[in-house]
């Protein structure tokens, strides 16, 4: 009798049942994965907060450091066609963004030339230290096509060791040696 039941079974019904079982297992696996990610994230955050409170240190508070205006640099503007507007720390001090505005597109075009080792991007020297962020630390340079007068652009550098920090001062050093000193860093 068992053999008769098996032989009368519709083959397509078995395939549909297998697909339903697979979907159920996939949903359960996804739910288990998401629960594990949430639990791991909560554990890490909890441990970080607990270790900070156990140290007796006050809870860190994000204090905005508004930037002073970037000092005027008429020589850089005349030679490079650029006006630097901001130096900002990013990503918990893991990056530094250097913003500039193009004031002469023909002269500014050279900042977009080259690669990480032969480019015309500026370096940042941390004032009061020997620390320096060079073009080889560039993570991104936001420009598309030819430079456009009046347009603002950004260069994002890696900030290894957090050498540039909010409230500190840097000197912007152009490839040809021109500098802009005492540029305050904001966040």
* pLDDT tens-digit series, residues 25-39: 677 777 777 677 676
Measured between alpha carbons, how far is 146 from 105 in angstroms, rounded to an integer? 8
- Taking only the tens place, the pLDDT of each residue in 35-75 is 776 766 666 666 555 554 554 545 444 455 567 899 999 99
At residue 172, the pLDDT reads 98
At residue 59, the pLDDT reads 45
At residue 169, the pLDDT reads 96
CA distances (Å), 81 to each of 65, 78, 90, 139, in order?
Answer: 28, 6, 26, 23
Average pLDDT over residues 117-128: 87
- Taking only the tens place, the pLDDT of each residue in 137-169 is 999 887 767 788 999 999 999 999 999 999 999
At residue 87, the pLDDT reads 96
């Amino acid at each position: 009798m068992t053999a008769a039941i098996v032989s009368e079974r519709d083959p397509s019904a078995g395939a549909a049942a297998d697909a339903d079982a697979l979907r159920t297992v996939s949903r359960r696996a996804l739910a288990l994965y998401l629960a594990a990610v949430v639990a791991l994230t909560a554990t890490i955050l909890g441990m970080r907060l607990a270790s900070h409170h156990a140290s007796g240190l006050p809870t860190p508070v994000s204090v905005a450091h508004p930037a002073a205006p970037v000092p005027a640099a008429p020589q850089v503007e005349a030679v490079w066609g650029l006006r630097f507007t901001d130096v900002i720390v990013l990503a918990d001090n893991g990056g530094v963004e250097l913003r500039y505005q193009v004031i002469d597109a023909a002269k500014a075009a050279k900042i977009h030339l080259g690669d990480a080792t032969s480019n015309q991007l500026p370096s940042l020297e941390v004032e009061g230290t020997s620390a320096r962020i060079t073009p080889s630390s560039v993570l991104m340079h936001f420009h598309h096509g030819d430079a456009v007068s009046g347009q603002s652009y950004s260069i994002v550098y890696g900030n290894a060791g957090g050498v540039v920090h909010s409230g500190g001062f840097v000197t912007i050093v152009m490839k040809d040696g021109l500098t802009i000193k005492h540029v305050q860093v904001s966040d």
